Structure 1
Amino acid sequence: MDGPRGVDGPRGVDGRGTPVGRRLVLGMLAAGAAGIAAGPVLQRAYDSTLGAAAQNDPTGLSGLLPAGGGFRYYSVTGSVPHKNERTYRLTVDGLVRRPTSYRLTDLRRLPQTRIVHDVQCVTGWRVPGTPFEGVRLATLLDAAGVSPRAKAVRFTCFDGAYSESLTLAQARRRDVLVALRMQDKPLGHDHGGPVRLYVAPMYFYKSAKWLSGITVTDRVEPGFWENRGYDVDAWVGRSNGRDDAPTS
């Protein structure tokens, strides 16, 4: 999810409702720059701290900070629960013959696909050559037995707020994954883990974090950011008024 934080939430206040001043903003930016300059060990500690802070940041200011690997931390809710091996479930339902619930171990047993593409955010930042690995979404759809009436797929997330959608043809592309790994590591919570959607050829807001539900539908249902003005068909360089180079 890489839309701008704070579109519908309070701006310019901290968690206690008090104003956030220019000094704090500059201090946060300086801390981020210092972490990067200090080297990888301090940067990893800084990234961890930033990820935790971003989950409880109603201002969106943490999204301004230079996070590790070029990524930014975004959430559309005040906090997101953590899921693990025991508590995580991914459901596939809707217009299918065989509704299914997957655990992490189930997903790991399925054939894994690794793809490497640039990641492009609609707000302008780009991270080149980012590996994602997981199960092709088409594999899960085929296992569920999609109804002939199906036209689209809707995605929901365990943050309780975010949603996304793709047409059925888009969902079946070979570069659309239910991702379990990113940058050759298990997908961490701050990057949408343990499981997220990855839609390589589209702006990153289509790659829903904290994925918990895949529902096959008879029409495209606009997702969280589409309901706030972003394009539904978010092809990189061909939507949202941007001309970025394609990512896939």
Structure 2
Amino acid sequence: MNSGHSGEPGEPTAPAPRGTPVGRRVLLGTIGLGALGVFAAPTLQNGLEGFLGAVAGKDPTGLTGLLPNGGGFRYYSVASSVPHKNATNYRLTVDGLVDRPKTYTLDDLRALPQTRLVKDVQCVTGWRVPGTPFEGVRLSRLLDAAGVRSSAAAVRFTCFDGTYTESLTLDQARRSDILVALRMQDKDIGHDHGGPVRLYVAPMYFYKSAKWLSGITVTDKVEPGYWEHLGYDVDAWVGHSNGRSDVPTS
């Protein structure tokens, strides 16, 4: 949910009971008004986007997610700092239960057929950015190229922030509206929005769309991701409260 992910707002001090998302709502609700009082002065309106971007990567609590910005997104990170990657040093590894593991550079990904989707971005905390274009490579294309083995049942995603993880079932990962995204809002995805490459899971709440994507590992079972370990649902279909296991029609 920063601009979608690498996390959602700050973690609670202990794992919450399943289905009770205190990580975002309670923590941010209790400390948020004070933060807004400090930062919401009108004099910050010019250049606020840049200010948020500079702060977000250093804010493990997600406090910067309370600050408004012109793009409609709110910025969250669960890591204290995130390295910057570019075409020179970015790598995406596809491995696990596959016959042909592969490591992609940014140029490799750009050379593959690109898919453009225009969907609403919906955060489970309630904010939404309507009609947001994303472009990238369908995740299913990368899985097909790797040769998924018959014993596979799920896909695990890791990120170069060193902290965030996510998962999808194999059937979910093969949907046509799941992208390894390189562009958002008709421009290359910047660092603060999870670039240069992030996951985009269009039909689910934005915490499933992991930022700073670095690894795609095919597994034999779903492994709950960062926020699922803190009480959020593994299945996070938009419109089904905090996610339910029943799959909506495509």
User: For the superposition of Structure 1 and Structure 2, which TM-score range results when normalised by the shorter chain?
Assistant: 0.7 to 0.9
Q: Which residue of 2 aligns with 1:195?
A: 197
Q: Which residue of 2 aligns with 1:103?
A: 105
- Shift in Å at residue 22 of structure 1? 7.1
Match for residue 152 of structure 1 among 151, 154, 157: 154
Q: How does 1:39-58 map to 2 (within 5 A)?
A: 42=46, 45-58=47-60
Question: Which digits, 9 at most, give the CA deviation of each residue in 1:104-162, with x for residues without a partner?
Answer: 00000000000000000000000000000000000000000000000000000000000
Match for residue 69 of structure 1 among 44, 49, 71: 71
Structure 2 gaps of 5+ residues are 15-30
Give the whole-Å Cα distance in 2 for the aligned partners of 1:8 and 1:229: 12
Q: How does 1:1-248 map to 2 (within 5 A)?
A: 1=5, 3-8=8-13, 25-31=36-42, 35=45, 42=46, 45-240=47-242
The more displaced of 222-231 and 56-65 is 56-65
Give the whole-Å Cα distance in 1 for the aligned partners of 2:134 and 2:73: 14
Give the whole-Å Cα distance in 1 for the aligned partners of 2:192 and 2:8: 15
Give the secondary structure class of the aligned counterpart of 2:50: helix
What is the identity percentage for the equivalent residue pairs of Structure 1 and Structure 2? Answer: 72
Counterpart amino acid of residue 215 in structure 2: G
Counterpart amino acid of residue 184 in structure 1: D
Give the whole-Å Cα distance in 2 for the aligned partners of 1:59 and 1:149: 38
- Report which of the two structures shows the higher radius of gyration computed on alpha carbons: 1
**Structure 1 contact 222–232 (Cα < 8 Å) conserved:** yes
- Shift in Å at residue 4 of structure 1? 2.1
Give the whole-Å Cα distance in 2 for the aligned partners of 1:4 and 1:59: 6
Query: Normalising by the residue count of structure 1, what TM-score does the alignment of the two structures yield?
Result: 0.85
Give the secondary structure class of the aligned counterpart of 1:7: coil
Give the whole-Å Cα distance in 2 for the aligned partners of 1:98 and 1:73: 36
Equivalenced residues, count: 226
Question: Which digits, 9 at most, give the CA deviation of each residue in 1:167-223, with x for residues without a partner?
Answer: 000000000000000000000000000000000000000000000000000000000
Give the whole-Å Cα distance in 1 for the aligned partners of 2:13 and 2:193: 22
- Shift in Å at residue 5 of structure 1? 2.1
Give the whole-Å Cα distance in 1 for the aligned partners of 2:33 and 2:110: 46
Give the whole-Å Cα distance in 2 for the aligned partners of 1:176 and 1:8: 32
**Structure 1 contact 3–122 (Cα < 8 Å) conserved:** no
**Structure 1 contact 156–162 (Cα < 8 Å) conserved:** yes
Counterpart amino acid of residue 70 in structure 2: G
Give the secondary structure class of the aligned counterpart of 2:158: strand
Q: CA 1:90–1:25 in structure 2 vs 1: closer, same or farther (change >3 Å)?
A: same
- Shift in Å at residue 234 of structure 1? 0.4
Which 4+ residue blocks in structure 1 deviate beyond 4 angstroms?
Answer: 20-24
Counterpart amino acid of residue 152 in structure 2: A
